[in-house]
């Protein structure tokens, strides 16, 4: 009640520290409250208010894109789409990780060349987050075959040269994203 002892106009009378919000990325705010669940609460509140569901997806910038120095361009497109990169790592891919990542293709004629390509040079692995992140990144990436079915304006449509050397990988479903993120970023 305004004017009662221990309170000031516009402030609560309890010792509770109000949660302050800071901008964390395009269209996102993050609480600075010390409460361990503040981030989860903020995420839930923003979903209710905005009617969106935040997803995470794995994005790989493949060796051909790294070699062609397209990392900055690809990251810029991800951010301009309104997605947030929450983890990023530049790394060489082991045969084990490559095999685990592409396990669904084992036994197919292109499996060996797929593993050879992804282990041929460094990749950039990223966890990308945002509303409908899986679909949003796949739209941004363009069709798998950059020559025959990638739309101009997409990463593959603008920069892709061959089917196998198609610059980026994005998880194809939220289930795949969870599995792939666990492989590339254990504990994330």
pTM, entire model: 0.73
**Residue 13: is its pLDDT beyond 80?**
no
Catalytic status, residue 47: no
Query: What value does the mean pLDDT of the chain take?
Result: 83
- Binding site annotation covers 23? no
| Residue 85 forms part of a structural domain | yes
Q: Domain span at residue 96?
A: 54-184
If asked whether residues 166 and 146 sit together in one domain, one would say yes
Q: How far apart are CA 16 and CA 156, in angstroms?
A: 51
Domains contained in the chain, number: 2
Helix (H) and strand (E) counts in the chain? 8, 6
If asked whether residues 135 and 167 sit together in one domain, one would say yes
Q: How far apart are CA 36 and CA 122, in angstroms?
A: 36
If asked whether residues 96 and 119 sit together in one domain, one would say yes
User: 85: which strand partners?
Assistant: 128
| Residue 127 forms part of a structural domain | yes
The pLDDT, as a whole number, for residue 18 is 45
- Binding site annotation covers 90? no
Give mean pLDDT, residues 116-125.
Answer: 98
- DSSP class of 154: B
- Binding site annotation covers 185? no
The pLDDT, as a whole number, for residue 37 is 52
| Residue 11 forms part of a structural domain | no
If asked whether residues 43 and 124 sit together in one domain, one would say no
Catalytic residue among 35, 101, 105, 169: 169
Q: Which helix (H) or strand (E) covers residue 54, if one does?
A: strand 54-61
- Binding site annotation covers 166? yes
| Residue 92 forms part of a structural domain | yes
- Binding site annotation covers 62? yes
């Amino acid at each position: 009640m305004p004017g009662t002892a221990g309170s000031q106009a516009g402030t609560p009378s309890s010792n509770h520290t109000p949660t302050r919000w800071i901008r964390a990325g395009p269209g996102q705010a993050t609480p600075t409250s010390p409460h361990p669940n503040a981030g989860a609460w903020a995420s839930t509140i923003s979903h209710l208010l905005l009617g969106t569901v935040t997803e995470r997806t794995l994005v790989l910038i493949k060796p051909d894109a790294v070699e062609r120095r397209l990392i900055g361009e690809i990251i810029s497109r991800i951010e301009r789409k309104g997605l947030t990169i929450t983890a990023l790592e530049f790394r060489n891919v082991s045969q084990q990780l490559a095999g685990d990542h592409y396990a669904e293709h084992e036994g197919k004629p292109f499996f060996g060349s797929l593993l050879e390509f992804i282990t041929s040079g460094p990749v950039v692995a990223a966890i990308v987050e945002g509303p409908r992140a899986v679909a949003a990144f796949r739209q941004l990436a363009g069709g798998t075959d950059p020559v025959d079915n990638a739309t101009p304006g997409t990463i593959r449509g603008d920069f892709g040269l061959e089917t196998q050397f198609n610059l980026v990988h994005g998880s194809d479903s939220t289930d795949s994203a969870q599995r792939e993120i666990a492989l590339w970023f254990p504990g994330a």
